[in-house]
Structure 1
Amino acid sequence: MRRIILLKKILLSTLFLCSSMVYGQQVSDHKDGAFTEFGYRQGSAYRTASGKPGPSYWQNRSDYEIEVELDEEAHTIKGKVTIAYTNNSPEDLEFVWLHLEQNRFTPDSRGTLTTPVQGNRYNGDIDGGYLIENLKAQIVGRNKAVSEEFLISDTRMRVTFAEPIPSNGGKGTISMDFSYKIPEKGMDRMGRVKVKDGYIYALAQWYPKLAVFDDVTGWNTDPYLGAGEFYLGYGDFEFKVTVPYDHIVVASGELVNPGQVLTKEQLRRMKEAMESDERVYIISPEEVTDYASTRPKQEGSLTWHFKMNNTRDVAFASSKAFIWDAARINLPSGKKAMAQSVYPKESDGDEAWGRSTEYGKASVEHYSEMWYEYPYPVAVNVAAEINGMEYPGLNFCSFRSKGASLWGVTDHEFGHNWFPMIVGSNERRHAWMDEGFNTFINYYSYLAFNDGEYTNNLIQTRRYINQLTNKEREPIATHPDRTQSNNLGMSAYMKPALGLIMLREYIIGEERFDKAFKSYINAWAYKHPQPTDFFNHFENAVGENLDWFWKGWFYSNANIDIAIDGVFPYGPNYVVSLSNKGELPMPVLLEITYEDGEKERRMLPVEIWFKGNQWNHLLRVEKKVVAVEIDPDKVMADINAGNDKWPASLYAD
């Protein structure tokens, strides 16, 4: 009997060694070339190989002065914009391109003509569009010729100067009058809605704005179609909004003339709110219909004057139906900002917008503490007929939202102040660099708010297996306007966020990840990173070559399926036989359970897959092993949980 047992052991060992030799020779069975180089990410004087702005990095600047008037009866905006443009590029510019995004709301716009018959989220009115008049363009300097030459093509306008704007700091000015009808349906990003006490006007894409001229594409003139959002330069804004005397206006930036538009009592309450961690009513629910009688002006119109520096955009809202409350935001440096909310009576209540300012304050304080300090004087949440849209310092969210839904949309839209308002990525081409990054940071904000009052299960990556294996899925890197509508939520929001979750919680670890992510934000604050800048910066900061991950997760439909094929005794130790059955290799975290109930975790590096899709790991132990499991916390987005455990009988538990 002893001889039979010994022969069985020898046979098992021989089979195992033979298997090891065979698997060890498999050097060409990688799927889709998992470890081949991902592009050639060479640095330059503009963008370094370490993923930072280079010594010759440049970006142009646009400073705006805008005056507009809101006509409540005609639902129109009419005004004038003057843009001071600084050409910091190394080439002279004969012309500049501007965005005229209100031109989306015309019958023959590209956005209208590419909207499906059944419609989608980005439905828009078709009776609007800009009227542009009195355009003048001139190089700054004495006796320079004035040009009135412009060409409008869909949502873009080219303005040609009489002589080029000089490179390396040359300046030009562009001024024009503009007007348009405010759409009721503004592609779920802006517009107007009638509530009990009047109209709410949510104004964005409300003025002609300079397109970005950069070192990667030159002029970024992609038209405004729908899913693709915005790519804008930075500058200072000063804007005046004239509205009916009984309206309240909130906006991105600082209110410059509060004494001219607010009552003494409202000014007192504003000051009180700036010192309070609890909300203070500027206009209470009871005052909505009668506060106008105490305004500085009791008929006609009032002009609200705002300023915002070093920002890529501004937005505002106007209504006579607003309840208005506010509270102090405490920032890590000791500076203060103000959280504000405006909403109609229909949205009032502790289960609804009555907590909006609390949500906004908590959100901004969290992101400031964890990632980068909030730079703006206000953080305003506006209740409108918009499901959720972000602008610097101001959000539009649905006036119907309540509870967890309102927290989620408020937190998400305020998170956008970090991506793409501070880190100025190109949303129109790389939606994942703002939506995905923001969805990722939202996860930790959920955990922090009131010790997890609301739940966010993003880290449960295996909930998304159906979407990750959908035959119609598209890679993260697909441009948003080219992505199928039913794929956009996954490819732009969830999948990139899941990728960052795996990097932080599984592949890299919290300490290295957080330092790298903060470093990326600091390096590219108020600048224009490209995807390769993020990849290069992150790899340099964490000290890892992650080509395999960027290529597999962001630029393909590759999936993860790491399996335990078996666990075999090997002398006093064990061998764990693993295989990579998916297209994307991953490090392998093993949890070993011993006979006495003790558990131990060991991480195998991604390099085990360098020479093939099978690996035999020698598990050196001093006790009897009764179970082994891959990724016990299920952070890895593995599409097949059925091969994660040994013995297989554990799946019955």
Structure 2
Amino acid sequence: MKRIFIWIFALVVFKAVAQQEYQPANSKFEQLGTMLPTPNSYRSASGVPGPDYWQQKADYDIKVELNDEKQHITGSEVITYTNFSPDELTYLWVQLDQNLFSKDSDTYKTETGTLSESMSFDKLNFVTREAFDGGYKITSVREKSGGKLKYTINKTMMRVDLPKPLKPNSTFSFAIDWNYNINDQKKLGGRTGFEYFPKDKNYLYEIAQWFPRMAVYDDVYGWQHKQFLGQGEFALPFGDYKVAITVPSDHIVAATGELQNSAQVLSKAQLSRIEKAKNSKDPVVIVTQAEAEQAEKGKPTGKKTWIYAAKNVRDFAWASSRKFIWDAKQVNIAGKKVWAMSYYPKEGNPLWGQYSTRVVEHTLRVYSEHTIDYPYPVAISVHGPVFGMEYPMICFNGGRPESDGTYSEQTKYAMISVIIHEVGHNFFPMIVNSDERQWSWMDEGLNSFCQFLAEQEWQRNYPSRRGEPYKIVPYMKSAPSALVPIMTNSEQIMQFGANAYGKPATGLNILRETIMGRELFDYAFKEYARRWAFKHPHPADFFRTMEDASSVDLDWFWRGWFYSTNPVEISLEDVQSYTINTRNPEVEKPLAKASANPKTYSQMQNEKMLDSTLLEKNPSIADFYNSYDPNQVTAEDKARYEKYYNSLTAEEKALVDSGLNFYVLNFKNNGGLIMPLIIKMDFADGTDQVVRIPAEVWRLNNTQVNKVIFTEKPVIQFTLDPYLETADIDTENNSFPRKPSPSRFQLFKQQQVAPKNPMQQKEAAGQMNRK
């Protein structure tokens, strides 16, 4: 341990601070500047929509029929498009997302992969799926009055040429007729499709991206008409919808919006149950499992048309099946009653009947608390072939028990999580309407963060898949060639789940817990949702709002976490220990003596094995120095110290007598991404303390900093990032003195049979006991 006079120590501290090398050319704290678009009257520098902000509107009147025998859709629509932009438009762009499944789809052509000597039928069917006759068959594009319109189809986009320019603040109505074959979702994948149930020979349909939809035209990109290749999702304008859905008469239909003709499509018993559900604490079953099972047995020839209406939504989806069980209850959101509903086949029970609607209710409450109050009249969770996909007021979710009704813990939590996530998408991007075709993280990342909050409020220590910083570490440790920044176009993202979901969600959690604190973060995040509800935000609007509403400069964080692939890897390289030299001989000389004469191994061995020394045998050879002790305290020493001590001020005396321990901690930034320094100190008496140093400690030197810490009690262990808050990819160098990282290994035999889930094991054990 180094011991120096207090006046020298002061100089050492100054020197340690002064020697931080200034690196302005490589500063992590430079403002984003030109990396963000220039503020204008549409989008302000504060992140607020500007005084001239505008957005387009697209209203739909749609009639569609489902052919349950051929798995076929036939539809017609009238689109009324309102141009609120300052520009004259000579054409409109319409999205044809079903063309993803067409035989000449670029998605098929650009897929990469290999074959193996052993392949399943499902995998080979997927490779040969070009045989499916998918994609839209557009049969008519015309003015509402009937005149034909010229149109050009470019893969998943269609340009409709207008008979005359559409001036600002004007509307244009046109009609499209189309049909297409519905994909088998289990074989062909996708965000829509059907599932066939061989046992009862019935189908369950989850129908999305099913009608030609208007593309977004905005002040940032003009027309957003990037081709749909399957990964980048959707950019859509808001509008009002009226949709008439014709299905077999025994089908139950769930859809975006509110049912307009319930008396014509539901039985008196079902209508009565809906009334009961309005005031029920628990979900009420509207269509029972017995009714669904009875419907499964018949194949009627009649039809019913279900009419739904929705206002101010960006999309419309629906589901239909005679297999549906339906339960519902109402939840109070800021004094407004909102329906929470679930539709599922009997194959989803008992899991779905127990949890789904309760999860919908929970999600609406938590998200409303952290963003805006849920504004729509209903939120629906549907169980079918699509594991997870979101639309306004309705979402498609997976999580199915075993055929015997048991399920694993993993299945249970996967189901709860996917329902939270997909219902949560009502807020991002269905209400805060970001451009998913360009920026997946703006809906998936923000939503995954809110999902984490809702999961943790569902139960303590919920096994969240994403959100905790340590869970993103494996991704952050990936080879540089396998990484792209979060700020990458949706179709070019590698490791999509980690990049678009996990990393942004983790970053927001780090901001909330470690960098900003919950109070500042929660206010700013809620303000972003409030500002951009029912509008079209872009990344700069989010970045600017978070800073504007919190007074926290976060440009260093956006630059490092969102614009780069640098990991956090900060090492606690060294710790130098200092105490104050009191100059009191009665204190310092015993310490000097102990330091000058350490006990050595040789001395210990000699004590055991050396019988005697020459001096011990012949004391007469001793002289003055054999009894002299240079560390003995003399009267002169005491007088000198007393004179020195009396010359000190009261403040200086207090510091000399304080017994403080001083430590200089040396930190090295090996990964490139700076973070706050969280330092845990374990004291010799068994207590501990955590010191939190803001990231600005790196502002003068991005690569190495020294930090002086003083304590009343001696520290025996320093640990950097003790609670794994910063996603540091190497914690081996986070301790000083260094500590080994424990690990375990396991011996095993190759397992031949998949184990039963715990519920099955318990049931099997019960049967054995009964025998």
TM-score by length of 1: 0.91
2:515 aligned with 1:515: no
Measured in 2, the distance between the counterparts of 1:233 and 1:207 equals: 14
User: Match for residue 76 of structure 2?
Assistant: 80
User: Match for residue 314 of structure 2?
Assistant: 312
Q: How far 1:559 sits from its partner (Å)?
A: 1.0
2:175 aligned with 1:175: yes
Measured in 2, the distance between the counterparts of 1:549 and 1:121 equals: 45
- Structure 2 counterparts to residues 300-449 of structure 1, below 5 A: 300-331=302-333, 333-349=334-350, 351-398=351-398, 400=400, 402-449=411-458
User: Match for residue 89 of structure 2?
Assistant: 93
User: Match for residue 640 of structure 1?
Assistant: 730
Which of 258-267 and 70-79 deviates more?
70-79
* Amino acid in structure 2 at the alignment position of 1:416: H
Change in 2 beyond 3 A, CA 1:644/1:67:
same
CA deviations over 1:34-72 (Å, ceiling 9, x no partner)? 233324233110000001110000000001110111111
Which of 576-585 and 522-531 deviates more?
576-585
Residues 590 and 601, structure 1, Cα contact 8 Å, conserved in 2: yes
* Amino acid in structure 1 at the alignment position of 2:543: F
Change in 2 beyond 3 A, CA 1:293/1:586:
closer
Measured in 1, the distance between the counterparts of 2:537 and 2:709 equals: 44
Change in 2 beyond 3 A, CA 1:154/1:543:
same
Q: How far 1:298 sits from its partner (Å)?
A: 7.2
* Amino acid in structure 1 at the alignment position of 2:571: A
Residues 257 and 393, structure 2, Cα contact 8 Å, conserved in 1: yes
2:666 aligned with 1:577: yes
Measured in 2, the distance between the counterparts of 1:288 and 1:28 equals: 69
User: Match for residue 590 of structure 1?
Assistant: 679
Residues 122 and 226, structure 1, Cα contact 8 Å, conserved in 2: no
User: Match for residue 200 of structure 1?
Assistant: 204
- Structure 2 counterparts to residues 75-224 of structure 1, below 5 A: 75-117=71-113, 126-137=132-143, 146=147, 148-167=149-168, 169-185=169-185, 187-195=189-197, 196-197=199-200, 198-224=202-228
Residues 343 and 399, structure 1, Cα contact 8 Å, conserved in 2: no
2:266 aligned with 1:262: yes
Which of 110-119 and 636-645 deviates more?
110-119
Residues 53 and 524, structure 1, Cα contact 8 Å, conserved in 2: yes
* Amino acid in structure 2 at the alignment position of 1:409: V
Q: How far 1:13 sits from its partner (Å)?
A: 6.4
Measured in 2, the distance between the counterparts of 1:447 and 1:321 equals: 33
Measured in 1, the distance between the counterparts of 2:358 and 2:506 equals: 28
Measured in 1, the distance between the counterparts of 2:677 and 2:322 equals: 59
Q: Structure 1: any 5+ residue segments left out of the alignment?
A: 139-143
Change in 2 beyond 3 A, CA 1:361/1:388:
same
CA deviations over 1:549-587 (Å, ceiling 9, x no partner)? 111111111111222223323434332222222201112
Secondary structure, aligned partner of 2:44: coil
Secondary structure, aligned partner of 1:542: coil
* Amino acid in structure 2 at the alignment position of 1:163: K
User: Of 47, 50, 53, which aligns to 1:54?
Assistant: 50
Secondary structure, aligned partner of 1:308: strand
Secondary structure, aligned partner of 1:318: strand
Higher strand residue share: 1
Q: Percent identity?
A: 38
Q: How far 1:650 sits from its partner (Å)?
A: 7.9
CA deviations over 1:68-89 (Å, ceiling 9, x no partner)? 1111112111121011111000
CA RMSD of aligned residues (A): 2.9
- Structure 2 counterparts to residues 457-468 of structure 1, below 5 A: 458-468=466-476
Change in 2 beyond 3 A, CA 1:21/1:76:
closer
* Amino acid in structure 1 at the alignment position of 2:729: I
* Amino acid in structure 2 at the alignment position of 1:396: F
* Amino acid in structure 2 at the alignment position of 1:109: S
Q: Structure 2: any 5+ residue segments left out of the alignment?
A: 115-122, 402-410, 581-659, 744-771
Q: How far 1:94 sits from its partner (Å)?
A: 0.6
* Amino acid in structure 2 at the alignment position of 1:543: S
User: Match for residue 502 of structure 2?
Assistant: 494
Q: How far 1:376 sits from its partner (Å)?
A: 1.7
* Amino acid in structure 2 at the alignment position of 1:172: F
Residues 147 and 160, structure 1, Cα contact 8 Å, conserved in 2: no
CA deviations over 1:150-201 (Å, ceiling 9, x no partner)? 111111111111111111x111111121111111136431001112441111
Measured in 1, the distance between the counterparts of 2:18 and 2:710 equals: 23
TM-score by length of 2: 0.78
* Amino acid in structure 2 at the alignment position of 1:559: P
* Amino acid in structure 1 at the alignment position of 2:716: V
User: Of 250, 260, 272, which aligns to 2:254?
Assistant: 250
Q: How far 1:483 sits from its partner (Å)?
A: 2.1
Change in 2 beyond 3 A, CA 1:597/1:289:
closer
Measured in 1, the distance between the counterparts of 2:542 and 2:125 equals: 30
2:477 aligned with 1:469: yes
Change in 2 beyond 3 A, CA 1:650/1:72:
closer
Q: How far 1:598 sits from its partner (Å)?
A: 3.3
Change in 2 beyond 3 A, CA 1:598/1:85:
same
Measured in 2, the distance between the counterparts of 1:575 and 1:121 equals: 64
Higher helix residue share: 2
Q: How far 1:652 sits from its partner (Å)?
A: 7.4
User: Of 693, 700, 706, which aligns to 1:604?
Assistant: 693
Q: How far 1:618 sits from its partner (Å)?
A: 2.2
Q: How far 1:410 sits from its partner (Å)?
A: 0.9
Which of 520-529 and 393-402 deviates more?
393-402
Q: How far 1:527 sits from its partner (Å)?
A: 0.7
User: Of 550, 558, 581, which aligns to 1:550?
Assistant: 558
Change in 2 beyond 3 A, CA 1:581/1:288:
same
* Amino acid in structure 1 at the alignment position of 2:673: L
Measured in 1, the distance between the counterparts of 2:424 and 2:124 equals: 25
Residues 121 and 188, structure 1, Cα contact 8 Å, conserved in 2: no
Change in 2 beyond 3 A, CA 1:567/1:163:
same
Residues 436 and 442, structure 2, Cα contact 8 Å, conserved in 1: yes
Q: How far 1:353 sits from its partner (Å)?
A: 4.8
Which of 503-512 and 467-476 deviates more?
467-476
* Amino acid in structure 2 at the alignment position of 1:377: P
Measured in 2, the distance between the counterparts of 1:236 and 1:206 equals: 17
Measured in 2, the distance between the counterparts of 1:635 and 1:159 equals: 52
* Amino acid in structure 1 at the alignment position of 2:134: G
Secondary structure, aligned partner of 1:417: coil
Residues 411 and 442, structure 1, Cα contact 8 Å, conserved in 2: yes
Change in 2 beyond 3 A, CA 1:567/1:122:
farther
Q: How far 1:147 sits from its partner (Å)?
A: 5.2
Residues 265 and 304, structure 2, Cα contact 8 Å, conserved in 1: yes
Measured in 1, the distance between the counterparts of 2:346 and 2:2 equals: 82
Which of 127-136 and 76-85 deviates more?
127-136
User: Match for residue 141 of structure 1?
Assistant: none
Measured in 2, the distance between the counterparts of 1:121 and 1:601 equals: 57
Change in 2 beyond 3 A, CA 1:21/1:324:
closer
Residues 574 and 665, structure 2, Cα contact 8 Å, conserved in 1: yes
Change in 2 beyond 3 A, CA 1:623/1:225:
same
